[in-house]
Structure 1
């Protein structure tokens, strides 16, 4: 098809699509550059080749900058015209394939982003709401994932007899595999609620996790404990976690000495239960190693927690102080902090 001016060319483009268009730089009714820009915007799949009677590098550069596939100087012989059309059709095919692949890739990325968003919402929904306050104790947590989804988890729930179970775990790795292992570990620990002694329950939970951990060549560190707010008695199993401090009021702190190996390292690990007592005003603080990126001083276990955290009036204030800044920076690892604070039991009237 031949169009003798820009207006006629527009009418032809409205009626059909063209694979290749040869466009003169100088048209009778307007500049070819204006029509070139319009075609690039409305007909991106058309390979436009600019033709000119002027051998001027600046004109050629302007044509390419405006989106032309090529710039050729007249006269154009039959063989040259043939090669011109064939080569630019090939280039057009490659560019169309590239755009299609890019669109598919963007669609895949958008779909994965949506899946990750839903997974993050699901994972967040598994975590208990913070703070949790009952007669005799307060529980609070801070959680910030380094990626959309995390391998860290915390959990707590109260038994019918008044005791409280608290867990914090950190799965080796990040992203989707770690998050799946996190859900497995949380479910396994919940499944052994009420098993006594505590170390037997952790061993049973470890058996449930072991196959998945071996398949993913992973392990998980866990701090798992039960607390009786009536007496202050705390029983715990530290399976390779190590980041737990018992604050004695504002002035001092104790380390929890009993330690066992992480779950998934050795199949025959013997887990050991430690026992401590929280007095009114004492607090148990447990955190994942991601907190050490924010507070490297805490890697030294004898270093006391910051004074602002120790003097915090509530468990929520305590974890907020410790995790301050976690949501304002790019994290290398997930940051999880949990605090259990023993408070005075409210007096009850005599029967």
Structure 2
């Protein structure tokens, strides 16, 4: 006899504690995670407040929100990345959608639930053989390459790498030579004489505000440079920031890192500067070798995405190879081509001059 059978033999189960039940009547307890199917409908967040990421710090994001009007002043809030974004990165310069508390009050916290499509993306890798990229900055307009005329000594091959990264990202490059009172920058600039780069020079005790403001006004500019070249000094002067300024080791000749993460700072007379940590190497493992030549063509033209099927800019395919072989660019062109070929070789690409 089972526990659900009528124990007294009659047909009535009114007084039986178990006889009125069978197996189909037993309620199954749900598991701790629940057995309710998840809906496939996800919110679009079309009406969510939007902001611009100004800095990243250990899983917390500073986000500029507000239109700047009287009723909606600009202010920076703190946010985290929502779980639904998964492994998608959020970097300085990203335009994002937010939910939660966007008041910016002490202790408030919002969540980043959506990252808008990026117009430009500056990346680097550990070395040329590493295809794992590290995203540095999104949606910048131009790159300010800061290099010292001396202390530390300028490195042309590192500048070449910055140029390749800039053109690959679609950024307009600007070359800023600091500490020109310590050494004549002319010999160094001669290495880039065959390129149409915009160049600004600066003394240790004088920042060329007028020239720089003409270039930075209404633009988002990412700064890159070797540690100790005076990048933070330049950024502080242009933005009124008080970020730490490093010194150059007298024994090694290397600068000390003073910035640990990228941060966007407002330029006093308009525009934004994104200050990045100083680096001593800049891997290009993520770059398509076919794009490398754009940093060595006679005209420095970044790659722009096409609109309506029409490219916004065209580079000069292998033009420097022909001009060097014709003797038009002289010794500078030969050096440019040697650096160009060294980069391609390191990336496992073929030499266009031998094809």
TM range (shorter): under 0.3
Q: TM-score, structure 1 length as denominator?
A: 0.25
Q: Whose helix proportion is higher, 1 or 2?
A: 1
Q: TM-score, structure 2 length as denominator?
A: 0.25
